[in-house]
Amino acid sequence: MIIAIDGPSASGKSTTAKGVAEKLGFTHLDTGAMCRAVTWGLKNAEITADDIEMIRHFLSEIEIYFDATNRIHLNGIDVSREIRSGDISSRVSAVSAVPEVREKMVQIQLQIAKGNNCVLEGRDIGTVVFPNAEFKFFLIADVDVRAKRRLIDLEKMGETKTISELIADIRRRDELDSSRDHSPLIQAEDAIPIDTSQLTIDEQINKIINHINLNK
């Protein structure tokens, strides 16, 4: 069974997808982490998002995998922490808009998820990667709530930004993710929208679990 959870950044996807996967005993696949890992790798190799030839070469040799504790490894390096930095967050939308990157990500996602019970979270899971997913959810939240969540994440990394800077970052990324030509962030017609602004993590998870139990 495939469960697709899409939505903009800091809408609650990761925590929700992780909790749903744990409760159901499914694999959890964080596809945003994959885009972030590629962004980290390109930055490390000093390749810019407009250098398509170098990106193609980089992608042809890439190896991404999630270990048993769901930490993400890029070419043998555990990058789980580095990919959450403010710097990677500010670069990832441009990298994710590159069609070659998207094609490669989808190829790896299909390999990991096919034939498995899997909760995938991202931007285009219900629309492009698994349009026939058994269940599709689209998470949203108010921009100020999302900025506060992002601030907590950044503070854990020892970084800080003002709420107004974070709101501006989030709006810019929403705009980039929604307006790109290749698989933009958009709610699938058959996805169930969930506004997480006023929900606790348990409430978010239970909403999805209850819906699945009632409709499977």
Q: Is 141 in the site for ligand DC (CB under 6 A)?
A: no
What are the E-state strand segments in 38-169? 64-66, 72-74, 77-78, 118-122, 135-140
Which of 32, 44, 161, 171: binder of ligand DC (CB under 6 A)?
A: 32
Q: Does 196 sit near ligand DC (CB under 6 A)?
A: no
Side chain identity at 27, as an amino acid letter? T
CB-CB contact of 85 with 159 (8 Å): yes
Q: Which of 16, 80, 93, 127 binds ligand DC (CB under 6 A)?
A: 93
Pair 139, 1: CB distance under 8 Å:
no
Q: Nearer to ligand DC by C-beta: 96 or 204?
A: 96
What does the block give as tokens for 185? 């962030």
Please identify which residue in 3, 5, 20, 36 interacts with ligand DC, judged by CB under 6 A: 36
Strand partners, 137: 5, 192
Is residue 59 involved in binding ligand DC (CB under 6 A)?
A: no
208 contact partners, CB below 8 Å, separation of at least 6: 3, 5, 16, 20, 135, 137, 194
Strand 72-74 versus strand 77-78 pairing type: antiparallel
Select the span of 16-24, 88-96, 164-172, 200-208 touching ligand DC (CB under 6 A). 88-96
CA gap 116, 176 in Å, rounded: 31
Q: Which position among 37, 55, 74, 96 is part of the footprint of ligand DC (CB under 6 A)?
A: 96
Nearer to ligand DC, 49 or 92 (CB): 92
In the complex with ligand DC, the residue whose CB is nearer, 82 or 177, is 177
Q: Which of 20, 41, 124, 199 binds ligand DC (CB under 6 A)?
A: 124
Cβ proximity to ligand DC, 24 vs 150, nearer residue? 150
Measured between alpha carbons, how far is 95 from 105 in angstroms, rounded to an integer?
12
Residue numbers at the binding site for ligand DC (CB under 6 A): 9, 31-32, 35-36, 92-93, 96, 122-124, 173, 177
